[in-house]
Amino acid sequence: MHLSRLSLTDFRSYADAVVAPGDGFVIHTGENGAGKTNLLEALSLLAPGRGLRGAALAEMARRGGTEGFAVAARLADSSAALGDGVEIGTGTAAAAPERRQVRINGAPAAANSLSEWLSVLWLTPAMDRLFSDAASARRRFLDRLVLALRSDHAGHTARYEAAMRARNKLLAEPAPDRDWLTALEARMAEHGLALADARAATVTALDARLAAAPQGPFARAGLALDQNRVDDLAQALASGRLRDAAAGRALTGPHRTDLLVTHLDKTQPASLCSTGEQKALLIGLILAFADLVAERAGARPILLLDEIAAHLDALRRTALFDRLAGAGGQVWMTGTEPGLFAGIRDGATWLEVKEGRVEGS
């Protein structure tokens, strides 16, 4: 599966842009601030969630635009199973700048349904701090991985969080309705169990693949879950109402899960590794997971690698490009200059970004 066409309207720095990439490497270069990452962010919105920056929708609309923004794409695959292709798109209207709209083949659809058509994974410079960041950042990262294997994961996440917010609000009242609390806790337990099981299955499968991989230029990560999982979450929530009311939040449940990562070959927590080692761990983890998705789902995810080559030495750059080329699939990469991608053979789509314009498409 790959994008054969991407169009942006009033998105970030782009008033209007159209890209027609091939199904392999898509490399766009340009000066800092030219809009390279904006292209990747637009692509990341073709999956459920808030995109690779996690920004509010209103921030994505181009300044000076009057009709919100739109990101649209045509999907194709080499087997021609999609016929003439599938059109997917997302965006906002000026009247509702924080309301996301999604269309599939022109028909309105839920944002979570995007995962049924496309799997998108990304690495950005901001993620270099993932292993030393707060647990919530690793939890969001893990949930994006799970979503690539389980299209229903976003729905369970949304329903769990909605029930949790309603319960927190109800607990703040002087005399909360006990029956309503019980109903909300039952909903949290139902969707929380699905979240916990999906995360555990994904981590187990990915950890096994990483452990079996040979040593190479990218460090191998060992994975485990620090999972706040109880056999009867509804009962645990019911018995903890006074404690949760005092804290102003639920203190038990999968919303407190952490992803524990170690440097497998050094048996050292990733948070204690050097910056270079952490980046190598993250790259190796993403590459292994892309292979897992291809094996389980039958199609490789689209990879968005922002400034991936900037802090890799020549040996690791070559190893990365060779591995990506051998695996296949569409890979979008940004960099300040074409020389960073000198090891890539013929067949790539080369784009140059200049102040909101894309040339070479």
Q: What is the pLDDT of residues 118-138, one digit of tens each?
A: 899 999 999 999 999 999 999
Q: Bigger pLDDT: 356 or 329?
A: 329
Is the pLDDT at 196 greater than 90? The verdict is: yes
Distance (Å, whole) CA 299 – CA 243: 46
Is residue 79 over pLDDT 90?
Answer: no
Provide mean pLDDT across the span 330-346. Answer: 90
pLDDT of residue 81: 47
Which of the 8 DSSP states describes residue 327? H
Instruction: Give how far the C-alpha of residue 357 lies from the chain's centroid of Cα atoms, to the nearest Å.
Output: 25
- Give the residue carrying structure tokens 């970030």: 12
Distance CA 35, CA 62 (A): 12
90-108 pLDDT per residue, tens:
999 988 989 999 999 999 9
Which has the higher per-residue pLDDT, 224 or 313?
A: 224
Q: Is 245 helix (H, G, I), strand (E, B) or coil?
A: helix
Could you give the domains of the chain? 1-119+299-361 (3.40.50.300), 131-297 (1.20.1050.90)
Sorted by sequence, the CB contacts under 8 Å of residue 35 that are 6+ apart come out as 12, 13, 14, 353, 355, 356
Of the listed ranges 191-195, 200-204, 342-346, the least confidently predicted one is 342-346
Residue 124 has which token pair?
């950005």
Taking 80 as the threshold, does the pLDDT of residue 66 lie above it? no
Query: Is pLDDT above 70 for 204?
Result: yes
Q: Residue 77 pLDDT > 60, yes or no?
A: yes
Q: What is the pLDDT of residue 78?
A: 56
Q: What is the pLDDT of residue 307?
A: 94
Maximum pairwise Cα distance, the chain: 69
User: Which residue, among 120, 130, 134, has the nearest Cα to 50 in the 3D structure?
Assistant: 120
pLDDT at 355: 81
* Residue whose entry in the numeric block shows the structure tokens 């695959």: 77
- The answer on pLDDT for 227 being more than 80 is no
pLDDT at residue 225 above 90? yes
pLDDT given for residue 331 in this prediction = 96
DSSP calls for 79-120:
T-TTTT-EEEEEEEETTEEEEEEEEETTEEE-GGGGGGT--E
> What's residue 342's pLDDT?
87
Distances (CA, A) of 182 to 18, 58, 109, 248: 51, 36, 32, 17
Name the average pLDDT for the chain: 91
Query: Binning pLDDT at 50, 70 and 90, where does residue 228 land?
Result: low
Q: What is the pLDDT of residue 230?
A: 75
Segment 327-337, tens digit of pLDDT: 999 999 999 99
- Residue 341 in tokens: 């991608």
Average of per-residue pLDDT across 46-58: 92
Question: At 72, is the secondary structure helix, strand, or coil?
Answer: strand
pTM (2 d.p.) = 0.91
Q: pLDDT-derived band of residue 84, with 50, 70 and 90 as boundaries?
A: low
Q: What percent of the chain has pLDDT over 90?
A: 76
Share of the chain above pLDDT 70, in %: 97
Q: pLDDT tier at 233 (50, 70, 90 boundaries)?
A: very high
